[in-house]
Amino acid sequence: MNFANTWYVIERNNHFETISHEAMSLLPEGSYVMLQNFATHHEALEEHKRLVRLAIDEMKHKLGS
C-alpha cells in the first residue's frame, strides 16, 4: 500500500475524522482509534458519512424518535 496516498477514518475525542496518513502520523499515539484505511480520499469520506448516518440513526432510536 502506498502510505503517502492513504486515507483513514479515525475516531478521536468521540468524533469521526477523515485524515491523511501524513496527518495521522503526527497525532500522539493512543489519542485516536483507527477504524479503517482507504486508497482514496473519496472512499474514506463515503465511509465517514456512513458512520455518521449510523450514529444519527442510533441516537434517534435511543431517543424514541
Taking only the tens place, the pLDDT of each residue in 7-55 is 999 999 999 999 999 999 999 999 999 999 999 999 999 999 999 999 9
pLDDT at 4 over 90: no
Please tell me the pTM assigned to this model. 0.85
Residue 8 CB-density burial (10 A; 0-12 exposed, 13-18 middle, 19+ buried): buried
pLDDT at 37: 95
Contact call for residues 10 and 17 (beta carbons, < 8 A) = yes
User: How many structural domains does the chain have?
Assistant: 1
How many whole angstroms separate alpha carbon 32 and alpha carbon 28? 8
pLDDT at 2: 73
Q: Which three cell numbers stand for residue 51?
A: 458512520
Parent domain of 44: 3-63
pLDDT at 65: 64
Q: Which three cell numbers stand for residue 30?
A: 493512543
Contact call for residues 27 and 8 (beta carbons, < 8 A) = no
